Chain A
Amino acid sequence: MSTATTIADSTPQLRRNLTTARLPKWAPAGVALLSIGLGCAVGAGAGLASHLQWGIIAAALFVVLSYALSARVEGRRQAKDRLATAVVWVAFILAVVPLVALTFYTVQQGLEVLDGNFLTHSMKNVISSGPGGGIYHALIGTLEQVLLATLIAAPIGLLTAVYLVEYGRGRLAKWVTFFVDVMTGVPSIVAGLFILSLWNIMLGFDYSGFSGSLALAILMMPVVVRSTEEMLKLVPNELREASYALGVPKWKTILRIVLPTAIGGITTGVMLAVARITGETAPVMMLVFGADAINGDPFNGPQQSLPLYIWQQYSMVNNDFGYARAWGAALVLIFFVMGLNLVARGIARWRSPKGGR
């Protein structure tokens, strides 16, 4: 008991007064403005060319000033809290800057070439070091390759997920679960290498859109399994039991009750997976080869695809006309992928399974 009376007295941190000196509410905003001002002043004064440096100076000033000011007025604990808040806000700004820069720059550059002609013409008979030409052949190729990959990967992925959730017990299911997870991390270039050595080198098939699709399917499968699995798990067990109680066999229960209940989420997952493989460049680069002319047959001969087109326009043409076409294609690709994402998330919100967790 003797320690009891002394702790509060001996440790100033436990002092009892409730009122402390506090910075006014507008202090953080004020410090932020001051830091930005100082950052610009120092940047301009020192003649630093890159605005990146101005920003870094301002951010560092903001963090340091917030801490110093608070430590002086409010004490160390409050100062640490302010420091953390400042750092978190700086992290937020750090994330916004590349996001805005990327979006803005792509749209700005892409809109310069994006017109009806660009969307409806191929690169056939276009001198690539000059202006003109378009992405029609790449659009066709990408759509066909992604469609084929989805046709392969979606059923397999779906069935695997059904197996894992509805049947999966024991060793096999554990192995499948683990390797699906591992498969999510297979680098796309490795998937491309695998199809190349199996399909093209060993089995002797030629470059084609389809061999690209095979590699894309490998990348897509685990994503579909994962998301479908999550969705099936959200279907409440009561629904299954109610169906069994009516004497409906398991497979019919799965087909008629479980899958329809989860169909919104499953669709979302598949669309997100499609969005992801649409942008894959590496496997397409090895397997589709890239062509300047329209080739509507994904099973015969080289095709083109949007990501590959961007790569070729950048690396092989390598002048302003090539860059411009690359930006145009990049903008179309982003539109496509973002569109898929937005629609998929819309579906998810609209048809999310009720109940569950």
Chain B
Amino acid sequence: MAKRIDVSGLSAYYGATRAIEDISMTIEPRSVTAFIGPSGCGKSTFLRTLNRMHEVIPGARVEGKVMLDDENLYASNVDPVAVRRSVGMVFQRPNPFPTMSIYDNVVAGLKLAGVRKKAVLDGVVEKSLKGANLWNEVKDRLNKPGAGLSGGQQQRLCIARAIAVEPQVLLMDEPCSALDPISTLAIEDLIGELKSQYTIVIVTHNMQQAARVSDRTAFFNLAGVGQPGKLIELDDTQRIFSNPSVQATEDYISGRFG
């Protein structure tokens, strides 16, 4: 069910400010693509244009095309709500719904879609939590609030919530930046397992993480403060980290700036 993403000529704006400019790239299915780059280079903004979350910020808009296999997400007859159902998202800070139990958090998306059958929901909860490597830790307290879990568990709960609706693509916006090293490791392992089923895109500040988890890496940069961010290059992770074709990438990776 994983799908290929084809972006062409994409620019995103906050009001009059252009945050990213003219980005084109192809993201392969059943693989992990990492976005790296200095702060403010627009990698998170770009990620949010891939499931039309960018436009929920007042005044924000997007130009260009994002093809999910053969459908343009920004075509006029496309419903952004349907897009977000197909392209799931995990955020920087774990954000389980504080008023809901673990169980209800996982099935939140399905319930919105009108799935009510208890047997179906039970099955999805078990499968998703297992998929997020959380089942064994929480199976005895599914009715406890999700906010009572540790940070790493909460983040895996959020991943379970995202995969419960069976999206085709999973976007992750610095999913480990608020977590300790052990939880980070657990999430990274999970990403490795999930890529057999999903197209995964991950934004990260941590270059070792990009090198560890991703198959392909995209480097973003900006010409200066207040300038829009641009895609510098996208290549196999191994090449980016060993022998990048652009000097700026090498400078960034070897820690000369950023």
Contact = CB atoms under 8 A, between A and B. Distances in A.
Is there a direct interface between A and B, measured as CB atoms under 8 Å apart in the complex? yes
Interface of A: 1, 3-4, 7-8, 10-11, 13-14, 16-22, 76-78
A77 B114 contact: yes
Interface residues of B, number: 25
Contacts of A78: 79, 81
A14 B165 contact: yes
Interface stretch (B8-16, B120-128, B170-178): B120-128
Contacts of B71: 18-19
> Does more than half of chain B's interface fall in helix, strand or loop, or is it mixed?
mixed
Contacts, number: 60
Nearest to B130: A1
B78 A14 contact: no
Contacts of B123: 3, 7
Given A7-B123, A10-B120, 14 more contacts: A3-B120, A3-B123, A3-B127, A4-B166, A8-B1, A11-B115, A11-B120, A14-B165, A18-B78, A20-B77, A20-B78, A22-B79, A76-B114, A77-B112
Interface of B: 1, 68, 71, 73, 75, 77-79, 81-83, 85-86, 110, 112-115, 120, 123-124, 127, 165-166, 168
A330 to B, nearest CB: 39
A17 B72 CA distance: 11
B85 A7 contact: no
Contacts of A13: 113-115
A11 B79 contact: no
A14 B113 contact: yes
A80 to B, nearest CB: 11
A11 B114 contact: yes
Contacts of B110: 7, 14
A77 B81 CA distance: 10
Contacts of B79: 18-20, 22, 78
Contacts of A22: 77, 79
A298 B70 CA distance: 83
Contact of A18 (B86, B113, B114): B86
Contacts of B115: 7, 11, 13-14
B50 to A, nearest CB: 13
Given A18-B68, A19-B78, A8 B166 contact: yes
7 closest cross-chain pairs (CB), A and B: A13-B113, A3-B123, A13-B114, A20-B79, A19-B77, A18-B82, A18-B78
A187 to B, nearest CB: 35
B6 to A, nearest CB: 14
B127 A1 contact: yes
25 contacts: A3-B123, A3-B124, A3-B127, A4-B127, A7-B110, A7-B120, A7-B124, A7-B166, A8-B1, A8-B166, A11-B115, A11-B120, A14-B85, A14-B110, A14-B166, A16-B168, A18-B68, A18-B79, A18-B82, A18-B86, A19-B71, A19-B82, A20-B78, A77-B114, A78-B79
